[in-house]
Structure 1
Amino acid sequence: MALRCNLRSSSLQSFRLFSSSILNPDSKSLLTSKEKSRSALSLIRFEKNPERILDICRAAALTPESHLDRVAYSRAISSLKQSHYYEGIRSLIKESVTRPDFKSERFVSHFVILYGQAGLIGDAVKLFDEMPQLGVGRSVKTLNSLLFSCILAGEYGEMKRVFSEYPKKYGLAPTLETYNTVLKGFCESGSANSSHSILAEMERKGIKPNGTTFATVIAGFYKEEKFSDVGKMMELMKKHGVATSIGIYNVRIQSLCKLKRSTEAKVLLDTILGRGMKPNRVTYNHLIHGFCVEGKMEIAKSLFKEMIDSKLKPDAKCYFTLIYYMCRGQDFESALAICKESMSEGWVPNMSTMKSLVDGLASIEKIDEARWIIGQVKEKFSRNAGAWDEIEENFTKIE
C-alpha cells in the first residue's frame, strides 16, 4: 500500500514537472492555475504543431469555468482545424467531457459549441444525444447551444432539422433565446423570409420578441436588399412595443455601410441626432469604416473629428481602420498622426499595416518618423525585431 502511494505521489510530481516544463520551460517552480492559463494561451497562439497544441492544453488542465481557458480552448480548436487535425479535436473534447469535474450541463454545452466551431456538427449532435449517458441532463439551454453550434459550422439545414424535431423529441419548450438563435441562422443563410413565419409562431406561443429579435431580422433583410421588409419589421416593432433604440439604428447603419451605401447610413445618423438621441462610438465606427471602404476619406476624417468632439473615445478597431485606409490612400502624414494617438493608448496595428506606414513615410522622406515607428514596434513586439531590422537597413539606400 505504501509503495502504491509512493508511486502515485511520484507520478503526480512528474506530471506537474512535465506540465511546468511545457508551459514555462525556463522555470523549475510550479505555476498557479492562472499562470498556466496565460502561458497556454500565449503558446497556442504561435504553435503550429498540432500534437504540441494538445500537450499544451493537457498540461494547462483547461476548464470552461475560466474565461482565459475558454479563449485557450477556442484558439486550440481553431489551430487544430486549420491543420485539419480533426481526430485531435475529437480527442481533446472527449477527454474533457469525461472528466468528473466537468459533468455539468453548462460545460457540456460549451463543448457542443466547440464542435460546431470545428465544423464537426455530427459530433456536436452525438454529444447532445448522449448527454444522459454522461450523467448530464438535457435542457433548452443545451438545445440552444446545439442550434448555435450548427450556425457556427454553417450547417443551416441541420439547424432547421434540430429546431423542427428536437423540442418535441426531448420535451424541450423553445424560449426567446431559441427563436433568436434560429432567426440568426435563417438570416445568415439568406433565408430572411422565413423570419415572418418564425415571428408568427412566437406570437402564437406568447413569446414576445425583443430588440435582438428585430435587429437580427432587419440585418438579414438588408443583407438580401429587401428594403420593404425592413420597413415592415420597423412597423412590427411598434406593434410589439419594442423601442427603436440606438442598437437598432446601429444595425441599420452597419447594414447600409456593408452594401456601400454609407451616404444613406449617414442620413440615419442625422435622423438620430434630429430625434435628440445620442449616437455611440459603435455608430461612428460603422460609418467611418463604411466611408473608408468607399474611399471617401475626407468624410471618414470628419466623422472621426465629430466623434472626438462628442466626447466619444475611439477604440483600437477605429484607429486601425483609419491608419490602414489612409496608407492605402497614400495619406501617410495623417496616418502617422492617428498612429501616434493609437500607440499612446497602447494599441499597435498589425505588422502589414505598420510596414505600409513605414514604407510610405520613407517614400516621402520622413525617415526619422519611420525609424521612430520601428523603434516603438520593436520595443512592444520583440518577436518581430529581426524583420524590422531588415526594413530599417533599407533606409540607408534612401539616405
Structure 2
Amino acid sequence: MLQDSHFLINPATFRPGATISISKAKSKLKSEHDPDKALKIYSSVSNHYTSPLSSRYAQEYTVKRLAKSHRFSDIEAFLESHKDDKKITQEPFLSSIIRSYGLAGMFDQALKTYLQMDDLGTPRSAVSFNVLLSACVNSKFYDRVPQLFDEMPKKHGFLPDKVSYGVLIRSYCEMGKPELAMEKLKEMEEKGVEITAVTFTTILNSLYKGGRCDEAEKVWNEMAKRGCGPDVGAYNVKIMNFQGGDPEGVKVLIEEMSNVGLKPDTISYNYLMSCYCRNGMMDEAEKVYEDLETKGCNPNASTFRTLIFYLCKNEQFETGYKVFRESVRANKIPDVNTLKYLVHGLAKSSKAKEAKEMIRTMKKKFPANVVKVWTKIEEELGLAKVELGDIKSNESNVAHLVRLLPSNAAGLTSSKLTRKTSKHEIPLVLIPPAMMVFEVPDAAKPSFNMVTPF
C-alpha cells in the first residue's frame, strides 16, 4: 500500500500563471528533481495546452518528482484540479490524468477517473482504455488486466485495438505465462487485429528470461514467416541472452543488425559494455562508452550506472568519478546505491575532496528525502567535519589576528582564542613568544571509516 509522507499544496497553486511557455517548462522540469520547485515551474506556465504532447510530458515530470518523494496526496490534489478544466470533455486530456496516476502507481485513482468519464461528459474509446490498462501494468496489478480487458469494451461499446492486445500480452508475460500470450496471438489473427513486432518482442523477452530459448527461437522464426521482421527491440532482447557470456556473441548480433538495415541503439551498446564489464574487460567497456557519440548514440542512466558500478568494483574510483561528472552534465545521474559505492570508494582512496564535491552535487540535485541519505553518508565518512587542510589555509589570517593583540599577550601562559568558520569554532592556543599551535579538536580531523555500501 502506498504511504503518503505529507500534504503541503493547495489545489489553487496549480492554476497557471503567465511567465513561461510549456516547452520551456518541460525543459526545466527534466533537470529539476525538487518536487516543490517542479510544482512551481509547472504552475508558472502561461498556457499549459498550446502543445498537448509537451503539456503531457510536463505534467508527468511533475508527478514523477512528487511520487519519488512519496507525496501522493499532493499528486491527487494536483491531478484532480485538472478536472475543473473545460478540456476535461476531451478524451486525450482526461487520458493524461489516468496516465499520470499510473506513473505514480495510484491505480485506484486511475480507475476512478476512468469510471467518471460519463459524469464528466468525456467519450470513451480504445484510447482511454489503453491508457487505463497501461496504468494497471505500471502499478504492477498484472492480474487485473485480463479482467478489465474482458469487461470494459463490452460494457462501454468499443473494440480493443492492437495496443490493447499488446498491453494484455505484456500482463500475461509479466505473470510468467507466455503461453497465454501466444494464445492471444491466434485471437488477434482471427479478429484481423495487426500483430506488431513489439508484441512479438514482449513474448520473446518473457521466454528468454524464463530460460526457454528454444521456444524463443521458434517465435523469432514465426516473426519472419508473418513478414513482421525483427526490429531493434527484438534484437536487443536477443542480445540480452548473451549478457554476461561471450562478448563476441553480442558483437556478432550487433553486426547482424547493421547488415539487415537496423541501427543499433544505446541499449544495444549498453549490453555489449555490460558484457565486457562482467568479463573483467574494462578497457574494452570504456571504449564502447567513449565511442557512443561517434555511433550516433547518447549514454543513458543505465550506461552510467553500469560503468560506474564496475569501475568501482575494479577500484578505479578516480575514473568512476569522471564518469559521474559526465552523468551530471548529461542529467542522467545513476541511482543512489551505485553512487554510494563510488563515494565510499573515493573516501577510502584518500579522495576526500572528490567525495565531498560529489555529495554537494547530489544535495543540490535532489529533494529533501534524498538529501537526508547523503547527509547520513557524509557523517559516516567524516566528510561533514572540518579538515586539517581547511584549517591550514587560514593560518595567515590567524597570524595577523595574533599580531594585533596587545603586547602583553606574549606573557600569556595559556590563553585561548576562537576563530569562527561557517559551521565550527576552532580553538587556538597562544604560547609565548607568540608562537601558534593549532589545537585541532577530534571533530575536525578527517575520518574515513569505510562502510560497505552493499
Name stretches of at least 5 consecutive residues in structure 2 with no aligned partner.
1-9, 366-370, 389-444, 448-454
**Of 182, 198, 219, which aligns to 2:168?**
182
**Of 87, 109, 113, which aligns to 1:127?**
113
CA distance in 2, matches of 1:62, 1:272: 45
Partner of 2:285 in structure 1? 303
Quickly say closer, same or farther: Cα 1:117–1:213, change in 2 above 3 A.
same
CA distance in 2, matches of 1:137, 1:129: 11
CA distance in 1, matches of 2:27, 2:68: 18
Partner of 2:265 in structure 1? 280
Helix, strand or coil for the counterpart of 2:383?
A: helix
1:75 aligns with 2:65: yes
CA distance in 2, matches of 1:53, 1:337: 28
**Of 209, 221, 225, which aligns to 1:239?**
225
Quickly say closer, same or farther: Cα 1:42–1:60, change in 2 above 3 A.
farther
Partner of 1:289 in structure 2? 274
- Give the structure, 1 or 2, with the largest relative contact order (CA under 8 Å, sep 6 or more): 2
Partner of 2:383 in structure 1? 391
In the TM superposition, what are the counterparts of 1:1-399 in structure 2 within 5 Å? 19=13, 31-32=19-20, 34=22, 45-46=34-35, 65=52, 66=55, 67-77=57-67, 79=69, 82=70, 85=73, 90-254=76-240, 256=241, 261-263=243-245, 267-273=249-255, 276-277=258-259, 279-289=264-274, 292=277, 295-298=278-281, 300-306=282-288, 308-309=290-291, 311-312=294-295, 313-317=297-301, 318-339=303-324, 342=327, 353=338, 356-365=341-350, 367=351, 370-372=352-354, 374-375=356-357, 378=360, 382=364, 387=375, 391=383, 393=385, 396=388, 397=445
Report the CA distance between 1:33 and its aligned residue.
Answer: 5.8
Helix, strand or coil for the counterpart of 2:34?
A: helix
User: Does the CA-based 8 Å contact 1:112-1:127 persist in structure 2?
Assistant: yes
Report the CA distance between 1:230 and its aligned residue.
Answer: 0.6
Cα deviation 1:197-226 (Å, max 9, x = unaligned): 110011111223122111111111122222
Helix, strand or coil for the counterpart of 1:166?
A: helix
Residue identity in the other structure for 1:176: K
Report the CA distance between 1:140 and its aligned residue.
Answer: 1.0
Partner of 1:11 in structure 2? none
In the superposition, the TM-score normalised over structure 2's length comes to 0.65
CA distance in 2, matches of 1:308, 1:208: 40
Report the CA distance between 1:130 and its aligned residue.
Answer: 3.1
Residue identity in the other structure for 2:133: L
Quickly say closer, same or farther: Cα 1:264–1:222, change in 2 above 3 A.
farther
| TM-align CA RMSD | 4.3
User: Does the CA-based 8 Å contact 2:59-2:100 persist in structure 1?
Assistant: no
Residue identity in the other structure for 1:173: L
CA distance in 2, matches of 1:89, 1:113: 12
Quickly say closer, same or farther: Cα 1:118–1:266, change in 2 above 3 A.
same
CA distance in 1, matches of 2:21, 2:181: 45
In the superposition, the TM-score normalised over structure 1's length comes to 0.72
User: Does the CA-based 8 Å contact 1:37-1:60 persist in structure 2?
Assistant: no
User: Does the CA-based 8 Å contact 2:273-2:286 persist in structure 1?
Assistant: yes
Report the CA distance between 1:314 and its aligned residue.
Answer: 4.9
Residue identity in the other structure for 2:82: S
Helix, strand or coil for the counterpart of 1:263?
A: coil
Partner of 2:441 in structure 1? none
Report the CA distance between 1:163 and its aligned residue.
Answer: 0.9
CA distance in 2, matches of 1:246, 1:352: 30
Report the CA distance between 1:56 and its aligned residue.
Answer: 9.6
Partner of 1:5 in structure 2? none
Relative to its length, the structure with more helix (as a share) is 1
User: Does the CA-based 8 Å contact 1:113-1:146 persist in structure 2?
Assistant: yes
User: Does the CA-based 8 Å contact 1:323-1:335 persist in structure 2?
Assistant: yes
Name stretches of at least 5 consecutive residues in structure 1 with no aligned partner.
1-14, 24-28
Quickly say closer, same or farther: Cα 1:377–1:163, change in 2 above 3 A.
same
User: Does the CA-based 8 Å contact 1:156-1:189 persist in structure 2?
Assistant: yes
Quickly say closer, same or farther: Cα 1:307–1:321, change in 2 above 3 A.
closer
Report the CA distance between 1:238 and its aligned residue.
Answer: 0.9
User: Does the CA-based 8 Å contact 1:323-1:353 persist in structure 2?
Assistant: yes
Report the CA distance between 1:46 and its aligned residue.
Answer: 4.7
Report the CA distance between 1:141 and its aligned residue.
Answer: 0.7
User: Does the CA-based 8 Å contact 1:371-1:392 persist in structure 2?
Assistant: no
Report the CA distance between 1:117 and its aligned residue.
Answer: 3.9
CA distance in 1, matches of 2:331, 2:39: 32
CA distance in 2, matches of 1:74, 1:283: 27
CA distance in 2, matches of 1:184, 1:68: 27
Helix, strand or coil for the counterpart of 1:250?
A: helix
Residue identity in the other structure for 1:248: A
Residue identity in the other structure for 1:315: P
Quickly say closer, same or farther: Cα 1:74–1:97, change in 2 above 3 A.
farther
User: Does the CA-based 8 Å contact 1:209-1:240 persist in structure 2?
Assistant: no
Helix, strand or coil for the counterpart of 1:391?
A: coil
